[in-house]
Structure 1
Amino acid sequence: MGSILLFGYGAIAHAKSKTQPVNIPSELKDTLTVQSITISGNQKTKKRIIYNELLFKRNGKVAKTDFFELVTKSRNNLLNTSLFNFVYIDYKFIENEKIHFHIKVDERWYTWLLPLLEHADRNFSSFLENGDWSRMNYGVYLKQENFRGMNETLKIKFRVGYLNEIEVLFNSAQRNNKLSWGTHLNYVALNQVSYNITGNEAIYIKTSNTFIEQNLGSEIFLRYRHRFVNRHKLMLKYNSFNIKDTLALLNPQYLLNGNTSLNYLSLQYKYNRDLRDSKTYPLKGHMFEGSITRDGLGLIENNINNISVKLFFQQYGRMANRLFYGTNLGVITNSNNNNPFVISNGLGYKEFLNGYEYNVIESNNYAYLKSKILFELVPTKTANINFINLNQFSKLHYAIYLKPFIDVGYVHKENPNPSNTLSNSYLYSYGIGIDLVTYYDKVLSFNYAINKFGYQGFYVHLNLAM
């Protein structure tokens, strides 16, 4: 029996292409029939969830020239479900015209009931820099992944501290060529908020014995996955914000025109085409994502009317045996230059440039390009932790990459605060970092960056996209 070892983490497995057999026997026919597929190791996951990710099926035909490509893509699909730590695919040729596949999976741990301790800053480096422990959250986090063995997600979260929150989320599985759905309910109450940006930094206000802001979000969405790599999502969301008079006086544009409440509907369409070898730490392939969101549908009382468009593109590839490159392009634009501060898209929240972690940049529109080169310092290794008896944790994979990087960007803002000098200017930074990639989709990054002003800093990130 010949075999292809398909393991652990998609991007790393993809880099380890030497595990593939050198040749398929020449006497095989040009078109092969899949005689049978057996699956093992799936104690909870339904077999149909695994079958759904395969690019071959029982009694189906496989061209000999496409054999390894189909198997490799099937492996990546299985790993990118985040259901398994390791995946192995064995095969056997029968009578020169048939194939038998055996798929073995090592499942992850799916039920998480944990105490919650987290910082509420925009990023971990910002938290380390300000050292403000009043921005800590505490609570209980319940997440049931692979719910019912169907790759569904159920999440319930209770948080207190800087952010007082109740969150409920349900996602049905995104199966190939199938319609799925989900719903999300989120209530947040805060006694400390960022109410303005001055000197390129967020300015906070904190109250005692009362919540200065409360907001409620409720959404329902439909998703359609087509030909494995194309995902469509349509979302309808209700948004409600209520603030104290103090906050409206400090920044009348927080909810616009000194208002203390804001209620509106949002409608969003998102398209994603993902051909990367891994969704967590890709080394090959590309991904495009675009979305258009209309805030304010005119169906309920509101004073917001905005259309936002977001475009993202990522490209990865191999330059040499252990050398890779990656680029990440992002563009965000808004039709309204006078949106409420509470929903403004400043660079420095979800997206930021390396070297500007401590900054928030006023913007209506911005674009950035991040580029990096990756050198595989430590190729993928598998380690057994003998003192842990649970299979889901006793075996892990890890790799270490060295990365020089360069970031550039431009931020546009109509009539910014004169102290916010980063708006309406070109920005850039460069530096070097180390990424530790391991199981359960975790990437720990240590970066040293220098920005356009010569400011140098050491930054720590968990699961940084670029």
Structure 2
Amino acid sequence: MRHFFTTAISTFLIVLLFFIQSKQSFSQTKSDSVFIIDKIIVTGNEKTKEFVVLRELPIKTGDTIVLQKIHSLLIEARNNLLKTSLFNFVTISYNTIGNIISLQVLVEERWYLWPYPILEHADRNLSSWIENRDVRKINYGACFIKHNFRGRREILKIKTRLGYREQYSILYQNPYLGSKQRNGLNIEAAFFRQHEIVYQTKNNKPDYYRSDQNYILHSFNSNISYTYRKHLLNSHSITGFYSHHTMADTILKLNPLFFYPDDKNLTNPSISYLFSRDARDSKVYPLKGYLLHFSVSKQWLLTEQNKTSINSSIGLISLYSKLFDKVYFGADMKGKYTFNGDYPYFINKALGYNDFLRGYEYYIIDGKHFFTSKMNLKYEIITPRVKKIDFIPLAKFNKIHYAVYASCYVDYGYVADGRYSDTNNMVNASQYSAGIGIDFVTYYDKIFRIEYSINKFGNHGIYFHIGAPIFSN
């Protein structure tokens, strides 16, 4: 296990050095030809305000650039616009007259209004739901989402969801406040209630309690976030979060540590800071670039009997690079450290939820601290291409892009905990897995993955996923 961990870290550092060196080599290219950006013409933006497009460009009118940098700047500009999720296609071209450059930015907008029915599984992941075959774990309802509200990249979302986990929520997001579009605001409120919950983890699997007559858990969550983004790649966010949870007396008897002993109500306010630097070529399925995240948070756990505060931090680094023609490498390392206090079971989550190791889809590994390292090697089977589907009448849907990649991967993880480890042998021990897969990438940020994985214990199988294989958003 130690050899595996050392190998994983060594490989990651070698690739990191290779990635940095390749960037340094590229940046040393010089040219004496200096050009001035005379004008930038934006077309195709029927709904989107022009300032939204211009805000995402790394160049502006009046800038001076050397000719050999124009190509890389236009690639960056196209990637930035696609990462807004406002456009299906972006084409940027330029003309030169003497030392004057004129840019033409052509965008093809997406469909922005989505009133749609909800029919989804309610398990931790699709593979887990398929294994359990519990038809009661289905959510249904309706959702209204208006992307690019008022043409300003705002989002308005209203959701009514019934079924396994009821949810009633509203969200408003505006990334471009102020005259320079550097400030962002996110406001959200949601109410949840459930007839069935996981009340403990035993043998690395969830134990459920269900009552068809009564709701077992009621939760109210709300948050407000402020984001400052002066530079295109960097952002700083401060989030205030408030939640209140009420559980049934039965859960307190089954697991006294679900909240705290003798307390069936938990109030959980928190405040956090997040720094992010996103230099990837895509936020959905990146192949080049890197992503850095670092956050610190303080939360309070308040009940009638207890008043506790807990500090924690989370760090993430993801790297993506093209090694050879059609061959790509991706890796990330993520860790969480809790500085003080013991979590009640309800929020003592590590791997098996939003973060998990491939090959461990059926398991939960709870704990205060965790570390993961994931590495992918991809081969481009079908080069990204565009196809027109004539029988679809709407222009925003009849032109699609798609690509297919084969991948092989290795995952490593470690969860540390001293409170719940007695009945869960995956805690305080190295976990690792490997496998192969096929990724199908298409428009509207959709990724479909089929993977065959084997883990440390020899457990193996075919798993289905929707979304990127390592951290994407």
Q: Equivalents in 2 of 1:406, 1:361: separation in Å? A: 18
Higher relative contact order (CA 8 A, sep 6+): 1
Partner residue in 2 for 1:63: 66
- The residue aligned with 1:9 is none
- What SS class does the counterpart of residue 250 from structure 2 fall into? helix
Find the counterpart in structure 1 of residue 175 from structure 2.
173
Q: What is the deviation of 1:335? A: 2.5
Deviations 1:15-40 (A, max 9, x none): xxxxxxxxxxxxx9722112221111
Residue matched to 2:234: 230
Measured at CA, do residues 356 and 298 of structure 1 come closer, stay the same or move farther in structure 2, by a change above 3 Å?
closer
**Structure-to-structure mapping, 1:23-34, within 5 angstroms:** 30-34=33-37
Cα–Cα, structure 1 residues 299 and 343, in superposed 2: closer, same or farther, change >3 Å? Answer: closer
Q: Which residue of 2 aligns with 1:84?
A: 87
Look up the match of 1:160.
Answer: 162
The residue correspondences of 1:179-190 to structure 2 (distance < 5 A) are: 179-190=183-194
1:94-113 aligned within 5 A: 94=97, 96-113=98-115
Q: Could you tell me whether the CA contact under 8 Å between 1:256 and 1:339 is conserved in 2?
A: no
> Does the Cα contact within 8 Å between 1:264 and 1:301 map onto a contact in 2?
no
Q: What is the match of residue 315 of structure 2?
A: 311
Number of aligned positions between the proteins = 438
Q: Indicate conservation of the 8 Å contact 2:35/2:65, yes or no.
A: yes
SS in 2 for 1:281: coil
Secondary structure of 1:390's counterpart equals coil
Check whether the contact 1:165–1:188 (CA below 8 A) recurs between aligned residues. yes
- In structure 1, give the amino acid aligned to 2:57: L
Partner of 1:23: none
Identity %: 34
1:425 maps to what in 2?
A: 429
Q: Name 2:206's counterpart in structure 1.
A: 202
Deviation by residue 1:65-116 (Cα, 9 ceiling, x = unmatched): 321121111111101001000001121111x210111111110010100010
Residue pair 2:202, 2:423 contacting (<8 A) in 1 also: yes
CA contact (8 A) 1:113 1:143 kept: yes
Q: What is the TM-score of this pair, normalised by structure 1?
A: 0.91
Task: Using the TM superposition, name which of 360-369 and 338-347 deviates more.
Answer: 338-347
Aligned partner of 1:127 in structure 2 is 129
Aligned to 1:326: 330
The separation in 1 between residues aligned to 2:305 and 2:182, in whole angstroms, is 36
Structure 1 residue 143 and structure 2 residue 145: aligned?
A: yes
Q: Tell me the TM-score normalised to structure 2 length.
A: 0.90
Cα distance change, pair 177–219 in 1 and its aligned pair in 2 (3 A): same
Change beyond 3 A, Cα 1:174–1:412: farther
Distance in 2 of aligned mates of 1:36 and 1:274:
27
**Partner Cα separation in structure 2 for residue 52 and residue 65 of structure 1:** 23
The answer on whether the counterparts of 1:433 and 1:447 sit within 8 Å (CA) in structure 2 is: yes
Contact 1:312 1:330 in 2 (8 A): yes
* Alpha-carbon RMSD: 1.7
Kept after mapping to 2: 8 A contact 1:41/1:105: yes
Partner residue, 2:75: 72
Which AA in structure 2 matches 1:91?
Answer: Y
Q: How far is the alpha carbon of 1:334 from its aligned partner?
A: 1.5
Secondary structure, in 3 states, of the residue corresponding to 2:229?
strand
Shift >3 Å, 4+ stretches: 174-177, 297-302
Q: 2:183 is paired with a residue of what secondary structure?
A: strand
Name whichever of 296-305 and 59-68 sits farther off. 296-305
Aligned match of 1:191: 195
- Does the 8 Å contact 1:84/1:106 carry over to 2? yes
CA displacement at 1:321 relative to structure 2: 0.7
Work out whether residues 36 and 100 of structure 1, in 8 Å CA contact, stay in contact via their aligned partners in 2: yes
Offset at residue 302 of structure 1 (A) = 6.0
Question: Do the aligned partners of residues 75 and 33 (structure 1) sit closer, same or farther apart at CA in structure 2, a change above 3 Å counting?
Answer: same
Q: Secondary structure at the match of 2:261?
A: coil
Kindly state the Cα deviation for residue 416 of structure 1 after the two structures are TM-superposed.
2.8
- Asked whether the 8 Å contact 2:309–2:341 carries over to 1, the reply is no
Task: Give the residue type in structure 2 aligned to 1:49.
Answer: V
Which residue of the other structure, out of 394, 397, 419, is the alignment partner of 1:393? 397
Inter-partner Cα distance in structure 2 for 1:146 and 1:191:
36
Q: How does 1:316-395 map to 2 (within 5 A)?
A: 316-395=320-399
* Structure 1 position 172, deviation (Å): 0.2
Confirm or deny: 8 A CA contact 2:358 2:453 kept in the other structure: yes
| 1:47 paired to 2:63 | no
Unaligned runs of 5+ in 1: 1-27
SS at match of 1:393: coil
Deviates more, 1:249-258 or 1:110-119: 249-258
